[in-house]
Amino acid sequence: MAPELLLDSNIRLWVVLPIVFITFLVGVIRHYVSILLQSDKKLTLEQVSDSQVLIRSRILRENGKYIPKQSFLMRKFYFNNQEDGFFKKTKRKVVPPSPMTDPSMLTDMMKGNVTNVLPMILIGGWINWTFSGFVTTKVPFPLTLRFKPMLQQGIELLSLDASWVSSASWYFLNVFGLRSMYSLILGQDNGADQSRIMQEQMSGAAMAMPADTNKAFKAEWEALELTDHQWALESVEDDLMGRELDFDGMFSKELPSGIF
Amino acid sequence: MASVSELYDVGWEEMRDKLRKWREDNSRNSEQIVDVGEELISDHASKLGDDVWIIYEQVMIAALDCSRDDLALTCLQELRKQFPDSHRVKRLTGMRLEALERYDEANKHYDAILEDDPTNTAARKRKISILKAQGKNGEAIRELNEYLEQFVGDQEAWHELSELYINEHDYGKAAFCLEELMMTNPHNHLYCEQYAEVKYTQGGLENLELSRKYFSQALRLNNRNMRALFGLYMSASHIAASPKVSAKVKKDNIKYAAWAANQINRAYKVSICKQHSDILKTTSFT
């Protein structure tokens, strides 16, 4: 269809590869900067205590069948009793951390913005300015004409196929594409993973952490109300005596001699 | 005195790996750790890299166990030089003071840590062990209860509390602690067995039945738990011998006890036969 353009191999050497290089290095630097700027999250005693209580209640629900019925009921009563059960009685003071009032949240947000969004904009702009005026690469799938002004910044050719893109778009392609490289080299959960951070920012706005405690208590209360005690040891003797015990290797002649 | 590496013909890497294995297994073989660790840090400290700090900590605690105060002090000084503000190192300083029985100073150290970081569990647990070392069991129990109210998930603490209660002969509360442990570790046969023993000691028909059940559970989880097997035999015979039971219960328990006795005989017969055949094999060469 469209005539195949043959690009100068210098473009590959001096444009494509440097952009990949630059993106990758910037990502790695961002990762280490985010580690340096990380503020220590200090947990209060209450938060630690609450999280452990929730874990205990969950374990009671899941493994309650291993303890005698009386013990299970005793614990269930302690948690769920109408008047003074733990989940009914404890109301934690909930202060939704709005960014304006909570100073640590504010600095965290600023740091997040500085380390992630700002470099991307700056470097994107710089690349656009330096490597402008020529076609960098071709995306392997056909695009409609609507993409032309977006992807072909600086190339004023009306008849050029939209698949041919400029260096700025190659840069953005790299930013998202190198994500898997970052996980390979920097390990999971690294600071250079931009798309993950943007996802978090979008979902983070929807959920506020501390409000969870009261709701978590309520959810646990409901779940525990529904749990019944099915004793796992009902027929343990008969199960056990169904077959002979396996004493293989119990009394072994070889005693461990010394340290090694 | 021959060094460990000469005696066993091992290199420093094997010694380091052995120390790591002991760390992961949480084994308390302090004399061996001191032997291996002392040689490792005196001769091969530079080769260990960053591992050396955790080995210092491990060797220091083992040295305190063996009353090797010189070694403990050396390790502590190295750690203090490297990590001057660390809570973990402060805790080790406190432990050394405990070993020297300077309990008041140790308490001051732990209080300082707790002022700085109220969620520090290690310091609180050391304070409780000081009380236990001083023989103040009642106070230790009270403090440990308060600790557990805040940190319900600490299994080490639950186990320690159950031990303290057993020492005070408060078997009901010890059973409660062991139930917590059984819930968090349902496949651990040792907790089941310990719980069954506590119930057996408490006595009374209901508790004996529970203990029989839990001995069986321990056996189901681990067929080779001889203690549980004996426990099963004893609890079953005890119930069968009790005058208050119905005939059916009596018959069932006699059956259980007979089965348990049978298994015990089988277990020891297997081992005796094996021992006999091994002896025969070795003596046939004379």
Instruction: Give the 3-state secondary structure of residue B209.
Output: helix
Q: Is A259 on the interface with B (CB under 8 A)?
A: yes
pLDDT confidence of residue A255: 73
Q: Is B220 on the interface with A (CB under 8 A)?
A: yes
CB spacing of B150 vs A45 below 8 angstroms: yes
Whether residue A189 is predicted with pLDDT greater than 70 in this model: the reply is no
Q: Is the ipTM of this complex over 0.85?
A: no
Q: Is A73 on the interface with B (CB under 8 A)?
A: no
Q: Which residues of A touch B18 (CB under 8 A)?
A: 259-260
CB spacing of A236 vs B7 below 8 angstroms: no
Side chain identity, residue A245: L
Q: What is the mean pLDDT of residues A162-185?
A: 78
Q: Is B181 on the interface with A (CB under 8 A)?
A: no
Average pLDDT, rounded, for chain A:
77
Q: Which residues of A touch B267 (CB under 8 A)?
A: 245, 247, 250
Of B35, B220, B275, the CB nearest to A240: B220
Q: What is the mean pLDDT of residues B17-23?
A: 93
Q: Which residues of A touch B151 (CB under 8 A)?
A: 48-49, 52
In which band, very low, low, confident or very high, does the pLDDT at A205 lie, cut at 50, 70 and 90?
Answer: very low
pLDDT confidence of residue A208: 42
In which band, very low, low, confident or very high, does the pLDDT at A203 lie, cut at 50, 70 and 90?
Answer: low
Q: What is the mean pLDDT of residues A72-97?
A: 78
Q: Which residues of B touch A250 (CB under 8 A)?
A: 224, 226, 267, 270-271
CB spacing of A66 vs B32 below 8 angstroms: no
Minimum distance, in Å, between the CA of residue B11 and any CA atom of chain A: 11
DSSP B40-61: HHHHHHHHHTTHHHHHHHHHHH
Q: Is B36 on the interface with A (CB under 8 A)?
A: yes
DSSP chain A: -PPPP---HHHIIIIIHHHHHHHHHHHHHHHHHHHHHPPP-PPPHHHHHHHHHHHHHHHHHHHGGGS-HHHHHHHHHHHH-TTT-HHHH---------TTT-HHHHHHHHHHHHHHHHHHHHHHHHHHHHT-SS--EE-SS---GGGHHHH-TT---TTS-TTEE-HHHHHHHHHHHTHHHHHHHH-SS-TT-HHHHHHHHHHHTT--TTTHHHHHHHHHHHHHHH-----TTTTHHHHHHTS----TTSS-SPPP-S--
Of A49, A66, A250, the CB nearest to B267: A250
Q: Is B183 on the interface with A (CB under 8 A)?
A: yes
Q: Is A256 on the interface with B (CB under 8 A)?
A: no
The percent of residues in chain B predicted with pLDDT above 90, rounded, is 81
CB spacing of B8 vs A258 below 8 angstroms: yes
Which residue, A84, A77, A90, A72, is CA-closest to B180? Answer: A72
In which band, very low, low, confident or very high, does the pLDDT at B81 lie, cut at 50, 70 and 90?
Answer: very high
CB spacing of B274 vs A253 below 8 angstroms: yes
**How many other C-beta atoms are found inside a 10 Å radius of the C-beta of residue B209?**
18
pLDDT confidence of residue A65: 92
Residue of higher predicted confidence among A231 and A167: A231
In which band, very low, low, confident or very high, does the pLDDT at A127 lie, cut at 50, 70 and 90?
Answer: confident
Of B151, B152, B223, the CB nearest to A247: B223
- The reported pTM is 0.77
CB spacing of B150 vs A48 below 8 angstroms: yes
CB spacing of B224 vs A260 below 8 angstroms: no
Q: Please say whether the dihedral angle defined by the alpha carbons of residues A197, A200, A205 and A209, taken in this order, is positive or negative.
A: negative
Q: Which residue of B has its CA nearest to A234?
A: B213
Whether residue A109 is predicted with pLDDT greater than 60 in this model: the reply is yes
Average pLDDT, rounded, for chain B:
92
